[in-house]
């Protein structure tokens, strides 16, 4: 390819080499690197381990190393890279599995073999179709061309932030190389992959109000605690309460164009199983493997602890990168507590004065900065895109007052709190209606109304009231016995149980029940509410509550699993049959 503006090899003017003077786990002290700033990357040791400078004192740098530091010695060289922690974002991301620094993990665990930070992906050729011609004047965010991918999520090559002017040259239709320029704009070469410092939010033109929900196919979320596209949610839950299963259900079923899953400090075999699962699932939009529009960033518990810290930012930047192309993206992080532990480990090694429970004083602002990057935006190019951020939180001992959980709750718009008692009773997903909340419920209700579902908000309000009333009555039954309660209250208890078992419980393993369209969700909820009304009418007519309680409702609980995931009509048919049978009930 003729390429008049190809960058020539950069003269090596990187600062250094300095010299390692102390190694303490992932913390390394370096002497003799004067030109290096805080947050710059340095490569340490003979294996060029990636590290980030966290503090600078006269003549001495402290850096956190993102790789295993075994074998690193005093006297080993350290070379400044002259830029902050960055990764390269390109068309090889979709369907890929990467480490916390966005280096591909294929076959063997690559994190063991150290390497340069810039070495993302293997050199590959991509089909490129230009969207501009020579002379077109472009600004940041404008479309330069497309790289079609099989996933249906085409890679849009955009003018990077900070570059503008007339197109001097653009590649023609055909195969292009990963890091060769495909255009030159105002004298600057642009490639299909873009380098970006992962801690810096990518710029946008405007932030927009949230309105449409991110449908997840999970009833307790979509019906009771909905999340808007561009919002944030946390899933706190004690050990084994179902955080990972819920997040994986979201990877599979949430209605996003691109899903970024960050496995952060959790079990590696779980992630491997989830990936195997995902590769078997078909994307309903393309009929191809769902993995093709998923980006997985793996920093499991067996991998270097500091890379967990980077993985959250790397994942967020991947999500922003696709948002800028005009896509709705979702970032899922399992678990943000392990990320916070990495912060704590480093701060305790560096001798920083600890704040609550040993976490660094900056914990709250670090969490806020992470969730703050979510949002629905107008991109620099004038498209609309979103990043929805959802993080699992693993409070030690289930203590919801511990710092990571408590701070996270302040910053998120939705809380899906998992309850140990519900999980113990095998009520899955164990999202409790007592501690969970959604600040998006009102706007999502308005959206449903505009989509022809005006009943959504009313039904939700009735469901919330029914759950609360059933919860209020349950301890009274313990105290005074069911027989002493008035008939209407006994029927409320019965309907509360039906609501929990027939609507809110949802089996992740079931083909029919694993996900659920909004129409089937609403049909199931309306079925329970219709039965509730009918039962109330029966006791009002003078039928004894004990007789109503004996009506066989076992079929109600099975419907969710017996009709297909989008078969609302099937649910309505069953409802009509049941209500008709109750008409003739004596
Ligand atoms: N929606 C669900 N449907 C069916 N089973 C579920 C569901 N959610 C959780 N489970 C069951 O609970 C078990 C534990 O769930 P999971 O591994 O997600 O918990 P966790 O909160 O991530 O645990 P840890 O704290 O160890 O990370 C699962 O193996 C599964 O058997
Ligand atoms: Mg888990």
Q: Any residues with CB less than 8 A from the CB of 47 and at least 6 apart, and which?
A: 67, 71, 114
Among the listed residues 139, 113, 130, 117, the one whose alpha carbon sits nearest the alpha carbon of residue 41: 117
- Of 452, 440, 450, 571, nearest to 512 by C-alpha is 571
Q: Which residue has the tokens 């068309």?
A: 91
In the block, which residue shows the tokens 């976490």? 359
pLDDT in tens, 460-470: 999 999 999 99
User: What DSSP line would sit under 423-486, residue for residue?
Assistant: HHTT-SS-B-TTT-EETTHHHHHHHHHHTT-THHHHHHHHHHHHHHHHHHHHHHHHHH-GGGS-
- Residue 241 Cβ inside 6 Å of ligand 1? The answer reads yes
Lowest-confidence pick of 168-172, 276-280, 566-570 = 276-280
Nearest CA to ligand 1 atom 30: 242
* Distance from Cα 175 to the centre of ligand 2, integer Å: 42
Q: What is the mean pLDDT of residues 76-83?
A: 92
Q: Which residue has the higher pLDDT, 334 or 291?
A: 334
517 ligand 1 Cβ < 6 A: no
What angle in degrees, to the nearest 10, is found between the helix axes of 403-411 and 363-372?
40
| pLDDT tens digit sequence for 253-270 | 999 999 999 988 878 788
Is residue 586 over pLDDT 70? no
What's the mean pLDDT when you consider all of the chain? Answer: 90
Residue 349 above 90 pLDDT? no
Whether ligand 1 lies within 6 angstroms of the CB of 239 is answered as: yes
Residue 579, pLDDT above cutoff 70: yes
The residue nearest atom 16 of ligand 1, judged by CA position, is: 242
Structure tokens at 307: 């890379």
C-alpha 159 to ligand 1 mean position (Å):
43
pLDDT at 123 over 80: no
Work out the pLDDT band at 3, boundaries 50, 70, 90: very low
- State which of 216, 235, 244 you would mutate to test the pocket of ligand 1, scoring each by most atoms of that ligand within 8 A of its C-beta: 244
**From the CB of 509, is ligand 1 less than 6 Å away?**
yes
pLDDT of residue 306: 81
Q: Look at residue 11 in the predicted model and tell me its pLDDT.
A: 46
Structure confidence at residue 530 (pLDDT): 96
* SS3 assignment, position 226: coil
Gyration radius of the chain's alpha carbons: 27
Residue 449 has a pLDDT of: 95
Residue 153's closest CA among 358, 327, 331, 369?
327
Structural domains of the chain, ranges and CATH numbers in brackets: 14-84 (2.40.30.20), 125-194 (2.40.50.100), 206-440 (3.40.50.300), 455-583 (1.10.1140.10)
The tens digit of pLDDT for each residue in 81-119 reads 889 999 999 988 988 888 888 888 764 333 333 333 333
Q: Please name which of 161, 184, 139 lies closest in space to residue 3, comparing C-alpha atoms.
A: 184
pLDDT digits (tens, 9 = 90+) for 203-244: 999 999 999 999 999 999 999 999 999 999 999 999 999 999
Q: Distance between CA atoms of 506 and 242, rounded to whole angstroms?
A: 12
Q: Which two tokens stand for residue 241?
A: 């309460």
Instruction: Report how far apart, in Å, the C-alpha atoms of 379 and of each of 29, 180, 386 are.
Output: 40, 25, 9
Instruction: Write the burial class of residue 3 (CB in 10 Å: 0-12 exposed, 13-18 middle, 19+ buried).
Output: middle
Nearest of 535, 532, 555 to residue 543 by alpha carbon: 535
User: pLDDT-based confidence at 438, cuts 50/70/90?
Assistant: very high
Q: What percent of the chain has pLDDT over 70?
A: 94
pLDDT (tens digit, 9 = 90+) per residue, 550-576? 999 999 999 999 999 999 999 999 999
**Predicted TM-score of the model (pTM):** 0.92
- Note the pLDDT tens digit of each residue in 302-337: 778 888 889 999 999 999 999 999 999 999 999 899
Across 331-335, 345-349, 351-355, the highest mean pLDDT is recorded for 331-335
Q: Which two tokens stand for residue 66?
A: 């993102």
Q: What is the pLDDT of residues 6-29, one digit of tens each?
A: 333 344 667 768 999 999 988 999
Residue whose pair of structure tokens reads 């190019």 in the numeric block: 381
**102 upstream amide cis, omega within 30 of 0:** no
Cα-to-centroid distance, 256 and ligand 2 (Å):
22
Q: Is the CB of 326 under 6 A from ligand 1?
A: no
pLDDT per residue as tens digits for the range 16-62: 689 999 999 889 999 998 889 898 999 999 999 999 998 898 889 99
Probe residue for ligand 1, chosen from 240, 261, 334 as the CB with the greatest number of ligand atoms within 8 Å: 240
């Amino acid at each position: 390819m003729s390429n008049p503006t190809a960058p020539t090899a950069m003269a090596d003017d990187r600062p250094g080499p300095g010299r390692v003077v102390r190694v303490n786990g992932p913390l390394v002290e370096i002497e003799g690197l004067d030109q290096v700033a805080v947050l710059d990357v340095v490569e340490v040791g003979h294996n060029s381990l990636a590290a980030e400078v966290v503090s600078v004192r006269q003549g001495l740098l402290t850096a956190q190393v993102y790789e295993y530091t075994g074998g690193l010695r005093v006297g080993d060289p350290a070379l400044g890279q002259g830029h902050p922690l960055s990764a390269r974002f390109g068309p090889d991301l979709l369907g890929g599995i990467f480490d916390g620094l966005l280096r591909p993990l294929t076959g063997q665990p690559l994190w063991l073999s150290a390497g340069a930070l810039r070495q993302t992906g293997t050199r590959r050729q991509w089909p490129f179709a230009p969207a501009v011609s020579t002379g077109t004047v472009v600004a940041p965010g404008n479309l330069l061309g497309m790289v079609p991918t099989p996933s249906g999520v085409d890679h849009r090559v955009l003018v990077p932030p900070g570059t503008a002017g007339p197109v001097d040259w653009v590649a023609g239709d055909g195969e292009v190389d990963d890091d060769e320029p495909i255009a030159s704009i105002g004298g600057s070469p642009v490639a299909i992959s873009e380098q970006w410092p992962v801690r810096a939010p990518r710029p946008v033109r405007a932030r927009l109000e949230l309105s449409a929900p991110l449908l997840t196919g999970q009833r307790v979320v979509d019906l009771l605690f909905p999340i808007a596209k561009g919002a944030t949610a946390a899933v706190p839950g004690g050990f084994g309460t179902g955080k990972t299963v819920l997040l994986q259900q979201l990877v599979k079923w949430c209605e996003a164009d691109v899903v970024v899953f960050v496995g952060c400090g959790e079990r590696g075999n779980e992630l491997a199983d989830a990936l195997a699962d995902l590769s078997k699932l078909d994307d309903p939009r393309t009929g191809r493997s769902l993995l093709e529009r998923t980006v997985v960033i793996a920093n499991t518990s067996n991998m270097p602890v500091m890379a967990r810290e980077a993985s959250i930012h790397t994942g967020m930047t991947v999500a922003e990168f696709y948002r800028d192309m005009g896509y709705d993206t979702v970032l899922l992080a399992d678990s943000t507590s392990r990320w916070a532990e990495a912060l704590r480990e480093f701060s305790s090694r560096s001798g920083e004065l600890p704040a609550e429970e040993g976490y660094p004083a900056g914990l709250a602002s670090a969490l806020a900065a992470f969730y703050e990057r979510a949002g629905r935006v107008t991109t620099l190019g004038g498209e609309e895109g979103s990043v929805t951020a959802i993080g699992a939180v693993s409070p030690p001992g289930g203590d919801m007052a511990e710092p990571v959980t408590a701070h996270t709750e302040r910053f998120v718009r939705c809380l899906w709190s998992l309850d140990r008692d519900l999980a113990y009773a095998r009520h899955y997903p164990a999202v409790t209606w007592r501690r969970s909340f959604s600040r998006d419920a009102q706007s999502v209700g308005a959206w449903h109304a505009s989509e022809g579902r005006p009943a959504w908000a009313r039904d939700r309000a009735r469901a919330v009231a029914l759950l609360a009333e059933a919860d209020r009555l349950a301890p009274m039954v313990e105290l005074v016995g069911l027989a002493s309660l008035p008939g209407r209250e006994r029927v409320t208890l019965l309907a509360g149980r039906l609501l929990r078992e027939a609507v809110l419980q949802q089996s992740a393993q079931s083909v029919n029940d694993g996900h659920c369209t909004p129409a089937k969700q609403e049909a199931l909820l309306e079925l329970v509410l219709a039965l509730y009304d009918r039962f109330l009418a029966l006791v009002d007519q003078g039928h004894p509550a004990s007789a109503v309680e004996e009506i066989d409702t076992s079929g109600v609980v099975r419907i969710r699993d017996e009709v297909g995931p989008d078969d609302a009509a099937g649910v309505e048919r069953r409802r009509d049959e049941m209500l008709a049978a109750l008409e003739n009930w004596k």
